[in-house]
Amino acid sequence: MSRTFRPICRASFAWVLLLATIPPIARGAVEDAPATFTPELIAQLQVVTQVAASPDGEAIAYVLAVPRNLKSEKDGPAWTELHLVDDDGRSRPYVSGEVNVSQVSWTPDGTGIAFLAKRGSDESPSLYVIPVDGGEARRVLAHKEAIASYSWSPDGKKVAFLASESVPDDQKKLRDQGFNQRVFEEEWRAVRVLIATIGDDEADEPKALELDGSASELSWSPDGAHLAVALAPTPGVDDGFMKRKVHVVDAESGEVVRALDNPGKLGPVRWSPEGTRLALISAADLNDPSPGRVLVASIDDGNLTELAPGHEGQFEDLTWLNETTLLALSSEGVQTTLRELSVDDPSRSEVVVQGPVIFNAIHRPSGSETIALIGETPRHPAEVYRMVQSGSEPERVTQHNTVLDDLRFADQEVITFKARDGLELQGILIHPLDREEGARSPMILYVHGGPEAHDRNGWLTSYAQPGQLAAGRGFAVFYPNYRGSTGRGVAFSKLGQNDAAGKEFDDLVDAIDHFDKTGLIDPKKVGITGGSYGGYASAWGATYYSDRFAAAVMFVGISDKIAKSGTTDIPEEEYLVHARKRPWEDWQFFLERSPIHHVTKAQTPILILHGEEDPRVHPAQSLELYRYLKLVDQAPVRLILYPGEGHGNRRAASRYDYNLRMIRWMEHYLQGEGGDPPPLQLEYEVLKDDSAS
């Protein structure tokens, strides 16, 4: 596939020709569209991953993830393209094809779109700018290490950026000679803040700021005087989760002028329009599983004030409307809202937009009324939305995946049910597409990970989520937000702490009982699947609760809580926001809450899948469960390992393979003859000449 680096300036014949050269399934053609979902269609769905409104509010730049065509392209993660949609709703690609664009922003004067990419002779991602009115993208900043993120000075003359410390030349030479051993967790390279002057030619050697710790969350203040930087003690993931603190740094001297004492996990950090305040999304305390509280501090004193205290939801993104008012995106149960918050009246929390669209991100450039959003619904994945001002009706302005327009969708419904102890819970049900009235259907329970996450009433179909694919094949699919999920306030998200696999997984069985009582499902034909903590739930369902599940698909899941604590890259996070005790404080508890402890109960056929390079949940967790189940030999078990994949699959082939194996396992044991596992080999329809295209 060719590379495109010139913008198309008009919706002209050239644009029509460009569309004609792109495979129909990749660009949303509806001719000969299948009546229901297929794994091949799911493998080609495009998703908007970032939005950035222009300074004048007349256009929105966005990043579009485009999966690779497995038949014609080398396997790998989705390509990420730069597109632009104008105020008339015309969308066109600016940087497209076999490209990986990230960190999109506008230059301060609005004449160009900046992005990170590795192009041409680049050894690592560099900073590029492409003119909005036409022309080639120009590299404005390169560095010997990858640029991780960046922020423009308000006058556009400088760029602050993040990059890891370089490996000394003598160490590089030794590695080239074969001395490539790693000293575990002692050879970390801190992420540094550097500042480069941008001119007509490529930037000169940047200046590094001497800051203690490893940096992230970099942004330049609107007055150009300061930088906001989040610093953690080390570059380790665990410290990044639990110990990042926001610092205000003098942009000229590099001195820290203010350190904020934000507690626990940290989310986005945003400057107020005049640069006198910082707003950030933070955890409520060190034991809060997820950042979801809005805190505001004046840079004069650094004192933090919580806005909307006691909010029974989770704030996920925010932008300033003026010096004292913010617009915040909040997940509340299975929906999202946009709320205006006030610095002058911290208790104020006014809903300005509520449903039915599920929003994932918002962006508003300072001085503009236009607000760019990423939104999804049960009928389409993430697209670009626009609001002309706060409180106006969001308008969808991009139309990718139009192939979905001709598909039959199963009904999707918000369900409320009660756990055995009376706790009210929510979830999302996708009904079987062609269920006969009164018939009981097989059900797949999809359990989200975290558990500090939640499913919302939006798009719920992907390579790992059975969603509309399973519903089209006769399954009911339920997404439970069990206790410990986010979106219902801090107290609810802590309900599963110090009780792994306890009441939280009892909630899953209570959901089955609920649908059994309604007559929707056959309780003897229920499957369970999920990744990470959802994989833990799947392993628990196949062992401890084996009498309740007829099939299980476990993905990057936990089977041994003792070993997991000693092999994960986030042991402190595991302790502070999950277990709340160390294994040596209660070995028996950790053992009893491990699926391996219950393998002699296992009667459930289980498919286990794992990335071989997973640092979060070591693949030994899957190997251990597989080996014990084989030795007990009471139920079918199969283990699939994906080389090069980590905590979730990124490559197109791995995702497609997973989706095929997951749905085939469920069909075989919940709808088919069962018995021995289905054949080992798969038919990859996407590689055939007559595949969906």
- Rounded to 5°, angle at Cα 263 from 258 and 265: 110
Q: How far apart are CA 111 and CA 458, in angstroms?
A: 35
Q: Which residues contact 120 (CB under 8 A, 6 or more apart)?
A: none
Question: Could you report how far apart the first and last alpha carbons of the chain are, in Å?
Answer: 16
Q: Which residues contact 211 (CB under 8 A, 6 or more apart)?
A: 192, 193, 229, 231, 247, 249, 254, 256
Instruction: Confirm if 660 and 682 have CB atoms less than 8 A apart.
Output: yes
Residue 168, pLDDT score = 86
φ/ψ of residue 334, rounded to 5: -105, 10
Instruction: Confirm if 348 and 342 have CB atoms less than 8 A apart.
Output: yes
Q: Residue 138 forms beta bridges with which residues? A: 129
Structure tokens, 346: 């911290």
Residue 34, pLDDT score = 62
Q: How far apart are CA 607 and CA 403, in angstroms?
A: 31
Structure tokens, 658: 């997973």
Q: How far apart are CA 233 and CA 181, in angstroms?
A: 24
The total of other beta-carbon atoms located within 10 Å of residue 133's CB is 8
Structure tokens, 42: 């799911």
Q: Residue 74 forms beta bridges with which residues? A: none
DSSP at 599: G
SS3 444: strand
The total of other beta-carbon atoms located within 10 Å of residue 359's CB is 25
**Residue in the block written with tokens 């079918």:** 636
Peptide bond preceding 222 in cis form (omega within 30 of 0): no
Instruction: Confirm if 214 and 190 have CB atoms less than 8 A apart.
Output: yes
Instruction: Confirm if 107 and 127 have CB atoms less than 8 A apart.
Output: no
- H or E stretch at 561: helix 561-567
DSSP at 100: B
Q: How far apart are CA 457 and CA 376, in angstroms?
A: 9
φ/ψ of residue 565, rounded to 5: -60, -30
Stretches where the chain sits below pLDDT 50 are: 1-31, 33, 691-693
- 391 Ramachandran zone, left/alpha/beta (phi>0; psi -120 to 50): left
φ/ψ of residue 656, rounded to 5: -65, -45
Q: How far apart are CA 497 and CA 502, in angstroms?
A: 10
**Residue in the block written with tokens 């698909």:** 553
Instruction: Confirm if 132 and 104 have CB atoms less than 8 A apart.
Output: no
Q: How far apart are CA 572 and CA 557, in angstroms?
A: 19
Angle between helices 503-518 and 533-542 (to 10 degrees): 70
Residue 12, pLDDT score = 31
Pairing of strands 277-282, 266-271: antiparallel
Residue 27, pLDDT score = 36
Residue type, 578: H
DSSP at 511: H
Q: How far apart are CA 13 and CA 295, in angstroms?
A: 50
Residue 201, pLDDT score = 77
Give the predicted TM-score (pTM) of the model. Answer: 0.93
Q: How far apart are CA 528 and CA 477, in angstroms?
A: 10
The total of other beta-carbon atoms located within 10 Å of residue 610's CB is 29
- H or E stretch at 624: helix 620-632
Q: How far apart are CA 221 and CA 276, in angstroms?
A: 9
3-state DSSP percent of the chain in helix, strand and coil, to 5: 20, 35, 45
Residue type, 153: S
Q: How far apart are CA 567 and CA 109, in angstroms?
A: 48
Residues constituting the chain: 693
Instruction: Confirm if 425 and 416 have CB atoms less than 8 A apart.
Output: yes
- Rounded to 5°, angle at Cα 237 from 236 and 242: 105
Instruction: Confirm if 269 and 228 have CB atoms less than 8 A apart.
Output: yes
DSSP at 556: S
Domain ranges in the chain are 409-687
Q: How far apart are CA 580 and CA 595, in angstroms?
A: 20
CA 217 from centre of chain:
17
CATH value of 409-687 in 3.40.50.300, 3.90.850.10, 3.40.50.150, 3.40.50.1820: 3.40.50.1820
Beta-strand ranges (E) seen in 283-437 are 293-298, 304-307, 314-322, 325-332, 335-342, 349-354, 358-363, 371-377, 380-387, 395-396, 412-418, 424-430
Runs of H (alpha helix) within 12-168: 13-20, 24-27, 39-42
**Residue in the block written with tokens 């039959």:** 408
- 139 Ramachandran zone, left/alpha/beta (phi>0; psi -120 to 50): beta
Sign for the CA dihedral angle at 455, 459, 465, 468 comes to: positive
